A and B are shown apart, each in its own frame.
Chain A
Amino acid sequence: MKLLEVENLVTELGEGENWLRAVDNISLTVEAGQTYCLVGESGSGKSVTALSIMGLLPHGQYRHPDGRIQLTDPQGKLPEIALLNADDETLRSVRGSRIAMIFQEPMTSLNPVQTIGEQLEEVLMIHRPELDEETRKQKILAALAEVRIPDPEGRIREYPHRLSGGQRQRVMIAMALICEPALLIADEPTTALDVTVQAEILKLMRDLQTKYGMGMLFITHDFGVVAQIADVVGVMRKGKLVESGKTADVLRNPQHEYTQSLIAALPERLIRPDRPVKPEKVLLEVKDVSVYFPVRRGLMRRVVDHFRAVENVSLQVNAGEVVALVGESGCGKTTLGRALLRLQDVTSGSIFLEGQDITQVSAKAMRPLRRRMQVVFQDPGSSLNPRLPIHTTLIEPMRVHGIGNSDAERTQIAARFLDRVEMPTDSLWRYPHEFSGGQRQRLAIARALVLEPRFILCDEITSALDVSVQAGILRLLMQLVDEEGIGMLFITHNMGVVDYLADRMVVMHKAKLVESGNTQEIMKSPQNEHTRNLLDAVPRLDDNYLASAI
């Protein structure tokens, strides 16, 4: 039963004379009760395809030289509609009632100045004007109960900021499904969520799909998610659909070389190199560290309570070893990392770097010590100073710490490290905006390396990157640790990365350390309940996880 047919869709974005082909000749069919997954790296045109179907591209800045999008009703009651280049009136009648859409960012997709109830009611008032107020309320409550929002009666009077990210995404789903659309388009609906929440949302979406027999067009970059939810998968690259077919076939036996390389780049599929045996030498030791933030209230800003970000955490990083710090968002991983680097004052406990207590060292005395511990951050967009050429960014810390005698010598050192992180040496004279996200992360690693540190903190450094780029960075980090004997604390939420990179892992939950030990052992038999939940929630590409083909 065909629901949506896209034929030879071409979408070009731009204005005036400059047009960029974002979607190039794509054909796909979504059937009722079936999930079609579009998967690809960033910039491959997945979202533009979805927006073309909904007719949501910015007015006057797109054109469709070719293509046809046909929406049919499986029951045959409603008319067949050509969506491409349809007028606003037609599109408005279709949007929300026959096609609904869920977006990636739950934090911004709800209107912050209206209550949940009002926003849901508005959809009903527009698409189902025949309903009276009482019926509308009943429908809203039923929809919220269906997406398993606790206490729907109370929730409808609340504003979006009172809900967590996962709950907001549930409300979005409720809003999308309240008019019982035949087709649901979901654009990376779980990317911004924690793995455990993601697992719940995916399960919810699957259940609702079975119940209503909807067709679903699901956009994601994560092959684990594809394996869990998709019946049919299409792999996109640079606007083209390079491969499509039943999920099990494509994932088990990819035909196109691009699909093959994508799957091979998944951290769980990367070939693990032999690790050299290292002598056990404690590099960084953390003893009972707590970080509290004061909660101030009232006119006098008195401290009424403390927010406990990190509580009594102890861990240890040896030279030449990667320790992964894992946990859900908000569990205090990043705060702990910042505390280790003394970017954040600790409330109690002590931190030893190569046997020296650095917990209470003054900011001034800390400066020479900073050479020994460096950091690489998550966001490639803000990790380098946009106003300085790479040369200055790399040379300045060396000059401050007295590495090299002249700037010529320092330039030589900088060039050598650029070579080390596999970047061309002429990057020295360029500015950050000329590099891609992955390249910027390499440059940020080079900046950390020029000081020849003993310890590097990596805070989610690959989570904003595409899998193939991530694979390159992971390989590089592994090499650095093995060859230079650097100790590394790797903060992440990606279990595949932990499995590939980490010798030992530490799991945090709600500011406390719940489990630590050898990575393989924890992965095999987690002792703590939270660790188990975390591991179970990870969408994996193992064969037994593949949704059975229909």
Chain B
Amino acid sequence: MTEQVVDIPVKQPSKSWTQQVVSSLLKRTSAKIGLAWIGLLVLIATFSPFLASSHPLYMVVDGQASSPLLQHMEPLDWVWLSGFFITLVISALSIVAWKKILLWAASIAVVSFIAYSSVTPPVLVVYEHYREMEAAGKVDNIIRAPIPYSAKDYLRDYADTGIESPLSVKERTHWMGTDENGADVASRMIHASRIALGIGFIATGIALVIGTIIGGLMGYFSGIVDIIGMRLVEIFEAIPTLFLLLSFVAFFGRSIYMMMVIIGITAWSGYARYVRAEFLKLRQQDFVQAAIASGLPLRSILFRHMLPNGLAPLLVATSFGVASAILAEATLSFLGLGLVDDPSWGQLLNQAVQSSTFNWWLAVFPGGAIFMTVFAYNLLGESLRDAVDPHTNRGMQS
């Protein structure tokens, strides 16, 4: 071979498959609606302490300025906030996708550790305190959150509180009314958006990881591994998630994290099936055979050549999975087996039917939020399916 030097043109990256899918996704109205709603939900979840809180953002009492809100921020609030900005920064970095994910996970872990070890908000919270001070005229200057009620502020200082329809009481502004304990519904809904988002992502994340690993192994090795794996899948598919959740709640008490894990470890079988089918198909593809024939290590064949090509149906399944995880939590809370004190959409919905009268605001707002979120994920899933499918894609272009 002659050793001439060839001019290499400057790198002009053309659109990769991912970029094509994203741009085709963003052309679809349904995807835009879905993403807009989920984005709004993320913003609300991140900034919920600033949107709805009884603690004033800024307060001057006797000439002393303070920010009770910042003092009362929970470690979880800090993790959400910093997580949001970490995500923004990392997505702007130009590094490989798997490095991004790794970096993200590592920084979230570090931030959580710092937050839980250093932030100690006062244990005793007296919400009435601020309103009493204000009524006594001690406060010189005050800036409150747009909704000046915390999720667990049951308005004990107003003797007449209880269930109220929206804007029915002159002295207090409850845009969406109050629940049976007198807590502001709008505030509870804002704080509950975290649970809706969190349960969707964490439960689906767990299912996705387990499903991809088991499905990938089944598909690549086939034979006896496949036979055992498929039996495992069948066993897990036979477990009724809701009843398992109910019995776990009955035995071990109510914990949102336990719910996430249980939903996660019962939902992986669907993903495993998808990955297995894709891998069985891909294993016979020429480029995978060529990769084996080039002597590439198994790690590269599995993760560089097979997984990215088998990801498309998985992405679609994931967005539907998130929706069903949210629904599972809402169902459980609706049945009264969800969280006790912490807000959740399903729990608010439950209160709509419990009292003797039908409280429409407790049905419409949380029900609407659950509907919109599940709908948004389904819209996203549908458009993603169309975007990754070359046949429907062609229909769009012509």
Contacts and interface: CB of A to CB of B under 8 A. Distances in A.
Nearest to A459: B286
A382 B287 contact: yes
Q: Classify the secondary structure of B's interface with A.
A: loop
B398 A15 contact: yes
26 contacts: A18-B397, A18-B398, A367-B295, A368-B295, A369-B295, A374-B293, A374-B294, A375-B289, A377-B290, A378-B286, A385-B309, A388-B304, A389-B14, A389-B16, A400-B294, A415-B7, A416-B1, A419-B6, A425-B6, A426-B12, A428-B9, A428-B11, A429-B11, A431-B17, A444-B290, A451-B294
Contacts of B305: 385, 388
Contact of A389 (B13, B296, B297, B398): B13
B180 to A, nearest CB: 54
B293 A375 contact: yes
A261 interface: no
B285 A370 contact: no
Of all A-B residue pairs in the complex, the 3 with the closest CB atoms, nearest first, are: A370-B295, A377-B286, A397-B294
A450 to B, nearest CB: 9
B392 to A, nearest CB: 13
Nearest to A61: B398
Contacts of A341: 293
A387 B17 contact: yes
Contacts of B304: 385, 388, 396
Interface string B68-102: 00000000000000000000000000000000000
Interface of A: 14-16, 18, 61, 338, 341, 343, 366-371, 373-379, 382-389, 396-397, 400-401, 411-412, 415-416, 418-420, 425-426, 428-431, 433-434, 444, 447-448, 451, 484
Given A370-B293, A400-B296, A425 B7 contact: yes
A420 B8 CA distance: 14
B3 to A, nearest CB: 8
A447 B290 contact: yes
B118 interface: no
B168 interface: no
Among B18, B287, B297, the most chain A Cβ lie within 10 Å of the Cβ of B287
Given A370-B294, A374-B294, A396-B304, 4 more contacts: A382-B285, A415-B7, A416-B1, A418-B6
B181 interface: no
Given A343-B292, A367-B295, A451-B294, A416 B286 contact: no
Interface string B374-398: 0000000000000000000000011
Contacts of B117: none
B17 A429 contact: no
A540 B296 CA distance: 43
Contact of A385 (B8, B9, B287, B295): B287
Contacts of B285: 382
Contact of A14 (B12, B17, B398): B398
Nearest to A449: B1
A400 B13 contact: no
A382 B289 CA distance: 10
B13 A429 contact: yes
B159 interface: no
Interface in B95-144: none
A123 B296 CA distance: 55
Contacts of A385: 287, 291, 304-305, 309
Contacts of A16: 398
A368 to B, nearest CB: 7
Contacts of B291: 385
Contacts of A343: 289, 292-293
Contacts of B309: 385-387
B250 interface: no
A499 to B, nearest CB: 26
